[in-house]
């Protein structure tokens, strides 16, 4: 005899819910999946009516489901939000160009305005060019740092009052593990925050999928037949996160609650008194928030533009870099191919445009 759904006790159960291992029917899965996200949004007061919300859209499963669910909940519960899709084009041929085609289809399918900003226009560098300079070891450091700022700049261009990203519970649990293993106290304390407030002129950010399991996002996208892009980035070595992910998946297979338990452990983490924490200020060159005189993006660009890409990623390289120096070329370095332009702190509008957001991965 067919097993009945453990929630409604009427319909046939067609799936086992990864988060709770309950056997449930499809309509009940949709209901619990969407309702949990709604509760996360309302309990944490993520939005205000009238907010202009930029959805970080990569074309992948997380951001595609986020756009679909947010649009659904906005209409169902009348949040009163103006939703936009915001995509970052890192300039990765054969990957991002294809995934952006998916976002363009999503724009039509969900009837949401779309804005695309590229690394090329913001930094005069594409990831293809950066990989040619730095190889496949530190490429994600460049990409992650530039993406954080690019998302903020795009949000400013849209006049957004809020940015949402598709980080899911697995991503956050992985980040907790990685920060714990690296002993990165400052990030460990921050990485479980569901929202970062809009202080110092920053655009507030939030992660409505903080408690949503990756497997359930995939399941939801599959059953709803959502149009998303599932190919991995061609420059995706990120071995450290890969190990943390594999470890987390092993734990999840034994005990599904491990993911939420790790997040709760991260939330309960408190920094011992006397531990020195970085103080937030602003980059003296571009005006973006930074705990150093130059923000990480300006340091990385400095290295790229001097033809010394390791400058921004190695400790020795950072010591070489005088943070007060302008973008003039190092006389000992090979000539750069072009003068790369980026916002200067002497340009108040550019500085204001980047003075947004917190250090969170997309």
Give residue for tokens 């700049």.
153
Is residue 143 part of the contact set for ligand SF4 (CB under 6 A)? yes
Q: Which stretch binds ligand SF4 (CB under 6 A): 6-14, 139-147, 148-156, 177-185?
A: 139-147
Rule CB under 6 A: choose which of 102, 139, 206, 290 binds ligand SF4: 139
The annotation status of 312 as a binding-site residue, yes or no, is no
β-strand partners of 117: 88
Q: Which stretch binds ligand SF4 (CB under 6 A): 11-19, 25-33, 234-242, 253-261?
A: 234-242
Nearest to 167 by CA among 113, 207, 218, 115: 207
CB of 185 to ligand SF4, least distance (A): 24
The annotation status of 62 as a binding-site residue, yes or no, is yes
Q: Tell me if 128 sits within 8 A of 92, measured CB to CB.
A: yes
Residue number, 238 or 314, with CB nearest to ligand SF4: 238
Is residue 127 part of the contact set for ligand SF4 (CB under 6 A)? yes
Q: Which stretch binds ligand SF4 (CB under 6 A): 26-34, 66-74, 183-191, 229-237?
A: 229-237
Q: Tell me if 130 sits within 8 A of 83, measured CB to CB.
A: no
Rule CB under 6 A: choose which of 29, 125, 235, 282 binds ligand SF4: 235
Q: Which stretch binds ligand SF4 (CB under 6 A): 46-54, 230-238, 284-292, 303-311?
A: 230-238
Q: 43 φ, ψ to 5°? A: -60, -35
Is residue 144 part of the contact set for ligand SF4 (CB under 6 A)? yes
Footprint on residues 155-174 left by ligand SF4 (CB under 6 A): none
CB of 144 to ligand SF4, least distance (A): 5
The annotation status of 88 as a binding-site residue, yes or no, is yes
CB of 98 to ligand SF4, least distance (A): 13
Residue number, 106 or 139, with CB nearest to ligand SF4: 139
The annotation status of 56 as a binding-site residue, yes or no, is yes
246 burial level (CB within 10 Å; 0-12, 13-18, 19+)? exposed
The annotation status of 166 as a binding-site residue, yes or no, is yes
How many residues of this chain bind ligand SF4 (CB under 6 A)?
A: 10
Is residue 116 part of the contact set for ligand SF4 (CB under 6 A)? no
Q: Tell me if 151 sits within 8 A of 86, measured CB to CB.
A: yes
Residue number, 119 or 282, with CB nearest to ligand SF4: 119
Q: How far is CA 194 from the centre of its chain?
A: 12
Is residue 133 part of the contact set for ligand SF4 (CB under 6 A)? no
CB of 326 to ligand SF4, least distance (A): 28
Residues lying near ligand SF4 in the complex (CB under 6 A) are found at 90, 127, 139-140, 143-144, 233, 235-236, 238
Q: Which residues are annotated as a binding site for ATP?
A: 56-58, 62, 88, 166, 171
Annotated binding site: 56-58, 62, 88, 166, 171
């Amino acid at each position: 005899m067919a097993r009945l759904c453990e929630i409604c006790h009427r319909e046939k159960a067609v799936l086992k819910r990864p988060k709770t291992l309950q056997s449930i029917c499809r309509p009940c899965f949709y209901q619990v999946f969407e309702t949990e996200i709604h509760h996360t949004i309302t309990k944490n007061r993520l939005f205000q009516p009238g907010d202009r919300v930029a959805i970080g859209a990569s074309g992948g499963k997380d951001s595609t489901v986020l756009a679909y669910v947010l649009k659904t909940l906005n209409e169902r519960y009348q949040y009163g939000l103006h939703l936009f899709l915001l995509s970052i084009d890192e300039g990765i041929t054969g990957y991002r160009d294809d995934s952006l085609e998916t976002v363009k289809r999503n724009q039509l399918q969900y009837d949401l305005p779309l804005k695309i900003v590229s690394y090329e226009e913001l930094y005069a560098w594409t990831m293809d060019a950066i990989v040619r300079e730095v190889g496949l070891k530190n490429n994600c450091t460049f990409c992650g740092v530039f993406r954080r700022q690019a998302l903020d700049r795009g949000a400013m261009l849209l006049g957004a009052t809020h940015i949402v990203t598709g980080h899911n519970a697995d991503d956050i649990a992985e980040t907790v593990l990685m920060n714990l293993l690296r002993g990165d106290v400052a990030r460990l304390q921050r990485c479980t925050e569901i929202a970062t407030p809009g202080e110092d002129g920053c655009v507030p950010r939030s992660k409505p999928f903080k408690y949503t399991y990756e497997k359930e996002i995939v399941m939801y996208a599959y059953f709803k037949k959502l149009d998303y892009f599932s190919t991995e980035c061609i420059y995706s070595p990120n071995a450290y996160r890969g190990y943390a992910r594999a470890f987390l998946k092993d734990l999840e297979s034994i005990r599904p609650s491990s993911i939420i338990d790790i997040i709760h452990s991260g939330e309960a983490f408190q920094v011992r008194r006397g531990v020195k924490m970085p103080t937030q200020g602003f980059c003296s060159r571009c005006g973006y928030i930074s705990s150093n005189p130059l923000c990480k993006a300006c340091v990385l660009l400095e290295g790229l533009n001097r033809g010394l890409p390791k400058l921004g990623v190695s400790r020795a390289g950072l010591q070489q870099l005088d943070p007060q120096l302008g973008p003039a070329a190092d006389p000992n370095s090979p000539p750069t191919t072009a003068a790369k332009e980026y916002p200067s702190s002497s340009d108040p509008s550019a500085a204001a445009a980047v003075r947004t957001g917190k250090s969170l991965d997309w």
